[in-house]
Amino acid sequence: MTEQLDMKRIPRHIAIIMDGNGRWASERGRQRSYGHQAGVESVRRITSECVRLGVEYLTLYTFSTENWNRPADEVAALMGLVLSSLEDEIFMKNNVRFRVIGDIGRLPQEVQDKLRQTEEHTAANTAMTMVVALSYSARWELAKAARQIAVDAIEGRIDPASITDTDIEARLETRFMPDPDLLIRTGGELRISNFLLWQIAYSELYFCDTYWPDFDEAALRQAIASYQGRQRRFGKTEAQVEGDEH
């Protein structure tokens, strides 16, 4: 199916809400942590495939601020999985740079240390940037940006009357990369769950019933094919877009 994709129209930035790990495990009579472990294998597969297809940025919603309300044993298992999965192979083998966004200060210190170490170790990699959203929520991110703007205004670095979209974007966690072209959610749910709310204003959305541990290269290509079958208008009319293309 790869040859059916238009390789000149591969999304520059794909964001994924990796949902369904727990249900995948429950249907197999296993603990939720088993599903999260299986989900790591999907991360490896999809990362490699994105590099092969020429995706520049891959953002994965790994742990939301709301996830802190889950049972303590599941949270602990997830933190342990983050530590064990941040291995050099997935990044160095694929020439992938690693970045993390979110309220990192809430994470265990050893997890924080490993995240920063991985960021530094992969900083020179150039094939793709994989961004992991950990302890992240869009409302938290926007509130943080608002606080930064308020401080800048009080200290005279910005005029409140002249604040623009660009001023907000410059204070977001994602300021180092473009907005997602394609947002994928696995697991059958049809919601955004507080993920990149500002950034996905004009992203194409793709929902599928496949649980994340079963989401493979073919499923990714199917999502990209759906994306390529759409016309991105960014507020323009269909006729305007077609005129721009000619």
What residues are annotated to the active site?
A: 19, 67
Q: Where would I find the H helices in the chain?
A: 21-26, 32-53, 72-85, 88-92, 109-121, 138-154, 165-169, 217-228, 238-244
Calpha distance 211→13 (Å, rounded) = 21
Phi, psi of 92 (to 5 degrees): -70, -40
Calpha distance 24→125 (Å, rounded) = 33
Calpha distance 107→103 (Å, rounded) = 8
Q: Compute CA 64 distance to the chain's CA centroid, rounded to the nearest angstrom.
A: 11
Rg (CA), the chain: 19
Task: Judge contact between 11 and 234, C-beta under 8 A.
Answer: no
